Amino acid sequence: MAADRLQVDTIVIGGGIAGMQAALDLADQGYRVALVEKNPSVGGKMIGLSKVFPTLDCCSCITTPKMAAVAYHDNIDLLTYSEVQSVSRNEQGFVVQVLKKPRYVIDDACTGCRSCELVCPLDLPDDANEFGRTAHRVIYVPFTTAVPQKALIDIDQCVFCGKCLQACPSDAIDFSQLPAFLEIQARSIILATGYQVTRYDAKKQYGAGKLRNVIDGLMMERLLAPTGPYGRVLRPSDGKQPASIAYVQCAGSRDETLGVPYCSRVCCMYAIKQAMLLSGMLPLADITIYYMDIRTFGKGYEQFYRSAQAMGITFVKGKVARITEDADQNPTVRVELIDDHSQVVERKHDLVVLSVGMLPGGDPQALYGVPTSEDGFVRIPNYNVAPATTTQEGVFATGTAIGPMDIVDSIVTASAAAAEVSAYLQSHYAAGSLTDAERSLIHA
Amino acid sequence: MPDPTAESQTAAAGKINASSPAGAPRIGVYVCECGGNIGETVRCEQVANALGKLANVTIARHYQFMCSDPGQKLITDDITEKGVNRVVVGACSLFLHEQTFRKTVERAGLNPYLYYHIGLREQDSWVHHECPADATAKAIRMMSAGIAKARLMQPLAPVHLDADQRVLVIGGGVAGLRAALSIARRGLPVTLIEKSHFLGGHVAQWEHLFPTDEDAAALLEGLIEEVIAESKITIYTGAEVVSTKGYVGNFDIRIRVQPRGVAKDFAAVDQAIAACPVQVPDEFNFGLTQRKAIYQPYVGCYPASPVIDREHCTRCNECLRVGQNGGIRLDEPPVEIDLKVGAVVVATGFRPYEPFAGEMGYGEFPEVITLPQLERLLATNDRLEWNARPVRRLAMIHCVGSRQIEGMHAPQPDGKVNDYCSRVCCTATLSAANRIHTRFPNVTIYDVYQDIRTYGRGHEDYYVRACKNGVTFLRHLPEEIPEVIRSEKGAEYPLLVKVKDRLTWGEEIELPVDLVVLSVGIMPSPISDLVDMLKIAPGNDRFLLEVHPKLRPVETAVAGVVLAGTAQGPMTVQESCAAAEAAATKVAVLLSRGKVELEPYVAQVDPERCQGVGECVCVCPQEGAIHLETRIENGKMLRRAVVTAANCNGCGVCVSVCPSRAIDVQGWRLDGFEAMVEAITAETPALEGVA
Ligand SMILES: Cc1cc2nc3c(=O)[nH]c(=O)nc-3n(C[C@H](O)[C@H](O)[C@H](O)COP(=O)(O)OP(=O)(O)OC[C@H]3O[C@@H](n4cnc5c(N)ncnc54)[C@H](O)[C@@H]3O)c2cc1C
Ligand SMILES: Cc1cc2nc3c(=O)[nH]c(=O)nc-3n(C[C@H](O)[C@H](O)[C@H](O)COP(=O)(O)OP(=O)(O)OC[C@H]3O[C@@H](n4cnc5c(N)ncnc54)[C@H](O)[C@@H]3O)c2cc1C
Ligand code: SF4
């Protein structure tokens, strides 16, 4: 694993699907790659999803092999639970200082057997993965399919009872662990810092997060996932199986008042997907999607929309003006039915899902000097022809860091970034800034 | 950590690396729940328990996600700790995860071909989800067949071959240009062929590109300049593929290059064009104007020298009479060139949907044109006029030839309707509307749509601007198709568009207009010959099909043939370029080492059994895959069949005709099949108590 200094061709920031794909594409060509992920596991948002459109593959089937591949690839140094502290330029490209946060568990020793979890006496809500709907111990492996399968300790919550110390068969626990620093000399940088969802409590008209049976798309993904908290779909307030579920589209996108005027591109499709999965799991439930425009633009997506209609999912053109709740906490949606003489009606549902949109996952300006566009995503000066090249020489960006997009497009743009980076690297090696021995590595 | 590449390279040298299984088979059996995809139907625990009782099964497990790291670790641990030397996985499809599990067993030091995959998802749980008990019984039978095969499996080594590093890029639109550039910059030589006589594809025909509003000509010029400057790229225009042979790393491709008929340095271009008496509709302006038989499509095109359109040239020799002698040759024959390439990028692009006669008045009323035609109209005129009359009101109708509904729309000649969204037309329409508004602020614009799909980065802005620019939007339901009819005689506007507008309570609205613009969709270029030659496949929507949209989004089922741009489906320029660069990356991964790896599933002759009859040679469909050799052994002349692994595709036809059962396909030997059939049909004790 990583030494204190590392020399690589590329450092990829962000271990979501885009970052992993870019890293694998370069490593498969013989380039050396460091992949830096701030969370304890790679996988990004995708590993938390249920099944994924348009093929309805189980998302783990697509993600987990790539997670394993980045962990085992000879040309990739995987640095999880790590963050970039500073970046500077030198003759050979960039000097990147990376902080490895202490897990309080020795990486090389931990086998992921989870014996520690069995004895740890304290439970914490799993906010990172399950929106607090389940719990994990103070010492825990982030989730079943996490890579690496290594435990970590939430040291702020630990009472140092020492039970895990005794239980660990590999003597992997080390309460005195300190942050480690690593200096990476990199020829180029790829930003794959992904996205966040727009806040589901941002809109006063939609209850500002106070209505218990109004959730967002990502929360619904967890309810639908086979690895999810309940193994079935239950509504938050009373654990009842919802018989009537509504989707409110563009809840957080195409909305100037929220500062998100753009379309988030994935929400139509994920709402339709979730509706289809729901009607499989709850065959008797009524599912309604309130929308402004259905944007099923991708390959096979329009057909996906048609199938959903054929399955009996109701699509209603109308912008939801307000959501309130009744005494039983049933959310009530006030909507103008545009296709039905624009009458304004109130409709009661058991559960409402806000189809929240996408915001950039980070601001690359401070560390990398990379400006963003008005929409907050990384600015790509030659957007049409060189979709991964930023304004800073040697710095590239991909996946949802350059704008909302789905998994297919994230993977394609990641491979595109790999092409731009490899061309950039070749131009340097051709210019003789590498020794012959180093260059021969590339063509090995 | 073992280095997988190093390992397979030693294997190539003829030595099988790592753990040729010593002694009896010790089989590890793994049943994957695939989240719930399998586990919700097949009782995986029961399957594992049943299989655990079979002979040679050392361990049988079930797990939620075998492909995840913890799942893979179960396998590697069993190999290193329990001495498992054969692995059978029952999971999703082979296509998805064969490579994953091969790498897993290899990491633990086992030969990757000592693993066998059973497709429990596609072949069992998905098709029998109504009957879990039967599905469980079937899983047991399928898996016991796999186990029966595994008992007989032997280590194999992939075939390693030198690969040609040259790449053929077919199509010189933005996608082909971008792919060529990226591949060349990666260090691989490229041949780029373009069927027409000019580079650039459709982008050459547009004025300004969304979402950047940049000048399309400037974008193209920049890209073409970079391509020309790249010494590793050879370009042929007027060129098409005529035949293909071979396989990844070793394709033999013949192309035919049509002569331009005009020398590069021919100076009297304008005079020659003026002299030509032929007039044909100019496809560059989508038939809005006429061109000569000797022509240049537009100013600034590349190559700049004009070309002679052989189909329409009457050989009247008028052009020969002007300017220099010898600059023009009317009867030069085409040239054929043989290329050896390692991979092929298909970037043949799209064609706009052509409405049929009478569809929304197209072809019936001259005032109905398509969006591509409008683009050319705007590009070539200072005023917005049609039939010499100013356009005061204009209606743009979306989704013509897209999002069609069976039974409601007329099908294409192949019997299918275009049920997909063409993705670019919404923003392209609004972009045109905004440009019209800026240049001709007095023109009234109606936009007739179902859904506005301004999905991409910066696209929504065009919608917002169009609203601010006063474009009037009318929304109809898919099944309430708008109509275009002739106005009554003497009416102020020649056409009426009838829309049942859902934004105004479903009222039937009539829009009197001067011009109707149909936002036509995108269809793939007609390339059925090429598709056949390359043995790739179009999907149901006729666009070329990728292996898997997420796992291998730009690769086809034929190794070494990849897709770039709109040949695969509707895309914007940015998306076409991204796909082209992704294609370049896949090609680089394949070829940058100068070697390719092929599956070892090739025919193998047992020289002891072979009688030299030669039936196999007669039936083999692959050139050079099997031949007879004569040698002298102990004073006797022997004839024996010999396989050339590189040319064999493992189809097994030879196996079926050999009278002495001397041939087998490695990895798929007959004894393996027999054992599998026996296991499937046996009264398996493992099935007790299941169904
Ligand atoms: C509710 C919902 C459902 C969806 N369903 C589907 C679907 O069915 N099909 C589909 O195709 N798409 C779907 N999507 C879209 C899909 O989630 C995204 O396209 C995809 O996950 C984007 O991957 P990414 O790698 O670009 O970003 P992310 O998944 O966000 O990954 C970014 C990674 O970078 C890390 N990171 C961020 N900043 C730093 C930093 N400074 N240092 C180190 N690491 C950092 C993050 O921790 C994260 O791991 C859905 C989206 C939502 C919201
Ligand atoms: C009206 C309209 C407006 C548009 N406006 C925009 C816009 O503003 N912004 C934007 O991003 N996108 C726009 N687009 C989309 C854009 O045109 C495409 O994304 C782009 O042209 C795709 O490039 P391509 O290389 O895939 O295909 P093409 O441009 O079609 O190029 C394919 C090339 O391959 C050649 N070819 C075909 N068959 C063969 C063969 N058998 N052998 C050799 N060569 C062959 C063709 O001659 C052609 O040169 C618009 C599309 C339309 C219809
Ligand atoms: S992009 Fe718009 S006009 Fe084109 S097919 Fe899709 S919805 Fe219709």
CATH code where residue B230 lies: 3.50.50.60
Residue of A nearest to B32 (CA): A61
Cβ atoms of A296 and B478 closer than 8 Å? no
DSSP string, A178-219: --EEEEEEEEEEEE---EEEPPTT--GGGTTT--TTEEEHHH
Topology of the domain comprising A102-178: Alpha-Beta Plaits (3.30.70)
- Residue A295 CA: nearest ligand 3 atom is 7
Reported as a pLDDT band with limits 50, 70 and 90, residue B22 is low
Q: In DSSP terms, which residues pair with B596 in a beta bridge? A: B161
Helix (H) or strand (E) holding B235: strand B233-237
Residue of B nearest to A57 (CA): B37
Domain count, chain B: 5
- CA A194 – ligand 1 centroid, Å: 5
* B595, B618, B635 - which closes a domain: B595
Tell me the pLDDT tens digit for each residue of B388-429.
899 999 999 999 999 999 999 999 999 999 999 999 999 999
Cβ atoms of B145 and B547 closer than 8 Å? no
- B535 in the same domain as B495: no
- B355 in the same domain as B494: yes
What pLDDT does residue B94 have? 82
Q: Which residues contact A34 (CB under 8 A, 6 or more apart)?
A: A2, A6, A8, A10, A11, A12, A76, A77, A79, A98, A184, A186
Query: Is A112–B548 a contact, with Cβ atoms under 8 angstroms apart?
Result: no
- Residue A367 CA: nearest ligand 1 atom is 41
The encoded tokens of residue A328 equal: 């039983």
Query: Is B584–A419 a contact, with Cβ atoms under 8 angstroms apart?
Result: yes
- B494 in the same domain as B359: yes
* Angle formed at CA B427 by CA B422 and CA B433, multiple of 5 degrees: 125
The residue contributing the CA closest to ligand 3 atom 6 is B421
- B292 in the same domain as B373: no
pLDDT higher than threshold 90 for residue A414: yes
Q: Hey, do A4-100+180-194+361-443 and A198-358 end up sharing a CATH topology, with the first three levels equal?
A: yes
Our answer on whether the CB atom of B403 is closer than 6 Å to any ligand 3 atom is yes
Helix (H) or strand (E) holding B576: helix B573-591
- CA B658 – ligand 1 centroid, Å: 55
Tell me the pLDDT tens digit for each residue of B308-320.
999 999 999 888 8
- CA B426 – ligand 3 centroid, Å: 5
Choosing from B369, B533, B572, B581 the residue with most ligand 2 atoms within 8 A of its CB, the one to mutate for a pocket test is B572
Question: Cα separations (Å) of B678 from A169, B139, B190, B478?
Answer: 46, 15, 52, 55
Q: Which residues contact A393 (CB under 8 A, 6 or more apart)?
A: none
Q: Among residues of chain B, what percentage have pLDDT more than 70?
A: 95
Our answer on whether the CB atom of B519 is closer than 6 Å to any ligand 3 atom is yes
pLDDT higher than threshold 80 for residue B35: no
State the ligand closest to the CA atom of A363: 1
Looking at the complex, report in whole angstroms how far the Cα of residue B266 sits from the nearest Cα belonging to chain A.
33
Q: At what angle do helices B132-152 and B44-51 cross, to 10 degrees?
A: 40
Residue B39: inside a domain? yes
ipTM value: 0.94
State the ligand closest to the CA atom of B523: 2
Candidates 3.40.50.720, 3.40.50.1240, 3.50.50.60, 3.40.50.920; CATH matching A198-358: 3.50.50.60
Max avg pLDDT among A176-185, A194-203, B125-134: A176-185
At A174, phi and psi to the nearest 5?
A: -145, 95
Query: Over chain A, what is the mean pLDDT?
Result: 92
Q: Mean per-residue pLDDT for B574-595?
A: 95
Q: Mean per-residue pLDDT for B255-280?
A: 91
What pLDDT does residue B18 have? 41
Instruction: Give the span between the Cα atoms of B292 and B275, in whole angstroms.
Output: 9
- B130 in the same domain as B42: yes
- Residue B564 CA: nearest ligand 2 atom is 26
Stronger pLDDT, A2 or B292, i.e. the higher one = B292
- B206 in the same domain as B126: no
Q: How many CB atoms lie within 10 A of CB B647?
A: 17
Residues 225-244 of A with CB under 8 A from B: 225-227
Our answer on whether the CB atom of B198 is closer than 6 Å to any ligand 2 atom is no
Looking at the complex, report in whole angstroms how far the Cα of residue A264 sits from the nearest Cα belonging to chain B.
7
What pLDDT does residue B324 have? 61
Q: Which residues contact B275 (CB under 8 A, 6 or more apart)?
A: B318, B319, B321, B322
Question: Cα separations (Å) of B362 from B194, B356, B476, B619?
Answer: 31, 7, 20, 54
Our answer on whether the CB atom of A217 is closer than 6 Å to any ligand 1 atom is yes
Question: Cα separations (Å) of A358 from A38, A250, A352?
Answer: 19, 10, 19
- Sign of the torsion formed by the C-alpha atoms of B576, B428, A252 and A248: negative
Contacts of A54 in chain B (CB under 8 A): 549
- B115 in the same domain as B103: yes
Cβ atoms of A349 and A333 closer than 8 Å? yes
What pLDDT does residue A118 have? 92
Our answer on whether the CB atom of B570 is closer than 6 Å to any ligand 3 atom is no
What pLDDT does residue B133 have? 92
Q: Which residue has the tokens 């919550």?
A: A157
Q: Which residue has the tokens 């099935």?
A: B687
Give the three-class secondary structure for B515.
strand
Residue of A nearest to B572 (CA): A384
Query: Over chain B, what is the mean pLDDT?
Result: 91
Instruction: Give the span between the Cα atoms of B192 and B227, in whole angstroms.
Output: 10
Strand duo A343-348 + A314-317: pairing: unpaired
Cβ atoms of A57 and A46 closer than 8 Å? no
Instruction: Give the span between the Cα atoms of A417 and A23, in whole angstroms.
Output: 10
Within 13 Å of residue B467, how many CA atoms lie on the same side as its CB?
A: 6
Q: Closest Cα to residue A308, out of A53, A127, A116?
A: A53
Q: Which of A262-276, B276-290, B323-337 has the lowest mean pLDDT?
A: B323-337
* Angle formed at CA A48 by CA A42 and CA A53, multiple of 5 degrees: 115
Q: Closest Cα to residue A70, out of A142, A10, A144?
A: A10
Residue B367: inside a domain? yes
Instruction: Give the span between the Cα atoms of B173 and B302, in whole angstroms.
Output: 12
CATH number of the domain within which B615 lies: 3.30.70.20
- CA B521 – ligand 2 centroid, Å: 12
What pLDDT does residue A436 have? 44
What is the identity of the amino acid at A56?
A: L
Instruction: Identify the domain containing residue B659 by its residue range.
Output: 603-666
Q: Closest Cα to residue B565, out of B233, B201, B227, B219?
A: B201
pLDDT higher than threshold 60 for residue B225: yes
- B418 in the same domain as B339: no
The encoded tokens of residue A10 equal: 């590329």
Looking at the complex, report in whole angstroms how far the Cα of residue B1 sits from the nearest Cα belonging to chain A.
8
Cβ atoms of A416 and B578 closer than 8 Å? yes
Best of B76, B181, B550 to disrupt the A interface (most A CBs within 10 Å) is: B550
Q: Closest Cα to residue A396, out of A373, A423, A432?
A: A423
CATH of domain A4-100+180-194+361-443: 3.50.50.60
Instruction: Give the span between the Cα atoms of B427 and B449, in whole angstroms.
Output: 12
Our answer on whether the CB atom of B425 is closer than 6 Å to any ligand 3 atom is yes
Helix (H) or strand (E) holding A18: helix A17-27
Cβ atoms of B447 and B396 closer than 8 Å? yes
Q: Is the peptide bond before A148 cis (omega within 30 degrees of 0)?
A: yes
What pLDDT does residue B637 have? 86
Our answer on whether the CB atom of B258 is closer than 6 Å to any ligand 2 atom is no
Residue B328: inside a domain? no
Reported as a pLDDT band with limits 50, 70 and 90, residue B442 is very high
Contacts of A226 in chain B (CB under 8 A): 33, 35-36, 39, 64
What pLDDT does residue B95 have? 76
Question: Cα separations (Å) of A269 from A24, A208, A291, A299, B575?
Answer: 27, 24, 12, 12, 19
Looking at the complex, report in whole angstroms how far the Cα of residue B109 sits from the nearest Cα belonging to chain A.
14
Residue of A nearest to B591 (CA): A29
- CA B481 – ligand 3 centroid, Å: 14
* B491, B523, B555 - which closes a domain: B523
pLDDT higher than threshold 50 for residue A178: yes
- CA A353 – ligand 1 centroid, Å: 19
What is the identity of the amino acid at A47?
A: I
Q: Which residue has the tokens 């394709």?
A: B251
DSSP string, A80-126: -SEEEEEEEEETTEEEEEEEE---SB-TTT-----HHHHH---EEE-
Domain residue spans of chain A? 4-100+180-194+361-443, 102-178, 198-358
Stronger pLDDT, A435 or B100, i.e. the higher one = B100
What pLDDT does residue B6 have? 36
Q: Which residue has the tokens 């079930």?
A: B62
DSSP state of B647: G
Instruction: Give the span between the Cα atoms of B109 and B476, in whole angstroms.
Output: 63
- B457 in the same domain as B379: yes
- Is A440 an interface residue toward B (CB < 8 Å)? no
- B362 in the same domain as B496: yes
At A406, phi and psi to the nearest 5?
A: -90, -175
What pLDDT does residue A259 have? 86
What pLDDT does residue B4 have? 34
Query: Is A412–B554 a contact, with Cβ atoms under 8 angstroms apart?
Result: yes
Strand duo B393-400 + B515-520: pairing: parallel
Tell me the pLDDT tens digit for each residue of A24-33.
999 999 999 9
Q: Mean per-residue pLDDT for B292-308?
A: 92
Cβ atoms of B568 and B558 closer than 8 Å? no
Instruction: Give the span between the Cα atoms of B257 and B238, in whole angstroms.
Output: 6
Residue of A nearest to B588 (CA): A29
Residue B586: inside a domain? yes
Tell me the pLDDT tens digit for each residue of B459-513.
999 999 999 999 999 999 999 999 999 999 999 999 999 999 988 888 899 999 9
Looking at the complex, report in whole angstroms how far the Cα of residue A326 sits from the nearest Cα belonging to chain B.
30
Query: Is B35–A294 a contact, with Cβ atoms under 8 angstroms apart?
Result: no
Q: Mean per-residue pLDDT for A110-123?
A: 91
Q: In terms of residues, how long is chain A?
A: 444
Residue B18: inside a domain? no
Within 13 Å of residue B39, how many CA atoms lie on the same side as its CB?
A: 17
Stronger pLDDT, B67 or B9, i.e. the higher one = B67
Question: Cα separations (Å) of B126 from A306, B16, B66, B91, B123?
Answer: 21, 38, 18, 12, 7
Q: Mean per-residue pLDDT for B584-604?
A: 92
- B537 in the same domain as B464: no
Q: Which of B131-140, B322-331, B427-436 has the lowest mean pLDDT?
A: B322-331
Query: Is B69–A67 a contact, with Cβ atoms under 8 angstroms apart?
Result: yes
Q: At what angle do helices B132-152 and B670-681 cross, to 10 degrees?
A: 150
Looking at the complex, report in whole angstroms how far the Cα of residue A378 sits from the nearest Cα belonging to chain B.
11
Residue of B nearest to A388 (CA): B578
What pLDDT does residue B323 have? 64
What pLDDT does residue B687 have? 59
- B610 in the same domain as B623: yes
Q: Mean per-residue pLDDT for B573-591?
A: 97
* Angle formed at CA B630 by CA B653 and CA B250, multiple of 5 degrees: 50
Nearest CB to B419 within list A302, A375, A413: A302
* B536, B569, B595 - which closes a domain: B595
DSSP string, B398-423: EEETSS--BTTBPPPTTS----S--S
Residue B5: inside a domain? no
